[in-house]
Amino acid sequence: MRLGVLDVGSNTIHLLVVDAHPGARPQPAHSHKVELRLAELLDERGAVTPDGVERLVSVIAGAAQAAEDKGCQDVLPFATSAVREATNADEVLTRVREETGVDLQVLSGADEARLTFLAVRRWFGWSAGKLMVLDIGGGSLEIASGIDEDPDTAVSLPLGAGRLTAGWLPGDPPDPADIKALRRHVRAQIARTVGEFSRSGAPDHVVATSKTFKQLARIAGAARSAEGLFVQRGLTRKSLEEWVPRLAEMTTLQRAALPGVSEGRAGQLLAGAMVAEAAMDLFGVEELEICPWALREGIILRRLDHLPT
C-alpha cells in the first residue's frame, strides 16, 4: 500500500510518501518538504501568530494535495513540539482540520522518543543489543534506551536546536557570554536525566537521528548523503569538541558553506552541536552511529504493525 506521513515539525513540514506492507522495508516514493520554521512564528504569549496559522494551513493544504496526487491510500499526519506547546494549539488544530481536512495528531515528547526508538531498532535489528537513541529536533531533544522495540526509558527535553538558537543565541556570530550561558543551561537539563538512564546499565550501541546529527557527522567527515542509506556514518565526541568552538566563531553564512549544511539550518547548527556534545559527554559516549530512519519511519512501522493480517 502507498502511505503518506505528514510531519509538522518545528522547522519543516515534510510529507514522506512510501510504498509499504508488513514485513518489508518501506520504500520512499516521494518527498514534499517546506521549511516553515513554525517555532519562530510565535508571539510573546507563545501562540502561533495569525500569519503563522495562515501559512501553516496553506502548506498543509499543499501537502495534502501532493499526497492525493501521488495516490496515497492513507495519510498519517502528526505534529510535534511547536504545535504541542503553542498556547493556541487547539485553535490551530481546528483551523487546520476545518480548512484542509487534515486531522493533525499531536505527539507527546515521550511518544516521539518511543517511535523514533522503534525505527532505529528495526533498522539495526536485535544484534545491536541495548540501544540508546538521541534525536535533536527543532524544538526538543529526545533520548530513549532499551533492549526491546519499546524503550525502557524515554524522555523529551526542551533543547531543540531552533528553540535554543532563538532564545539564547541572538548574535551572528553569537556573543561568547551567551554561548557560555547556553552551555550551562543545556548541561543542567540533560544532567537531570542521566541517573534515570544509568540505572538500567550502559548501552551496547549509541545511535543518533535527525538533520542536526547528520549535518554534524558530515562536517566531521562522514560520507555524503548521495552515497546512499547503507553507508555507515558516525560521529565522535572528540570531533564535536573540536567543531563547537569553530562553529561558535562562524557567522550563519560561513556555516552554510560547510559540507552538508543547508542554508536554512545553518543558524541552528551551533546550538545543535552544543546539545550533541553535552549529551555525549554526560552519558559517557565516545562515538555514535547515525541512523537514516527516525520518527516518520517509526510512525509508518507502527501503522503497518496494526494492519489486519
Domains of the chain: 2-106 (3.30.420.40), 109-295 (3.30.420.150)
- Indicate the residue type of 207: V
Contact between 113 and 155 under an 8 Å Cβ cutoff? The reply is: yes
**C-alpha cell belonging to residue 182:** 547556553
Residue 146 has pLDDT above 80, yes or no: yes
How far is Cα of residue 306 from the mean position of the Cα atoms in its chain? 24
- Indicate the residue type of 277: E
What pTM, to 2 d.p., does this model score? 0.96
153-157 vs 234-236, strand pairing mode: unpaired
How much is the pLDDT for 23? 85
How much is the pLDDT for 309? 60
How much is the pLDDT for 58? 97
How much is the pLDDT for 40? 85
**pLDDT tens digits, one per residue of 64-109:** 999 999 999 999 999 999 999 999 999 999 999 999 999 999 999 9
Which of 40-49, 105-114, 272-281 shows the lowest mean pLDDT across its residues? 40-49
Sequence-ordered alpha helix ranges (H) in 199-268: 211-219, 237-249, 252-256, 263-266
Confidence of residue 307 (pLDDT cuts 50, 70, 90): confident
**pLDDT tens digits, one per residue of 30-72:** 999 999 989 888 999 999 999 999 999 999 999 999 999 999 9
**pLDDT tens digits, one per residue of 219-263:** 999 999 999 999 999 999 999 999 999 999 999 999 999 999 999
**C-alpha cell belonging to residue 101:** 481536512
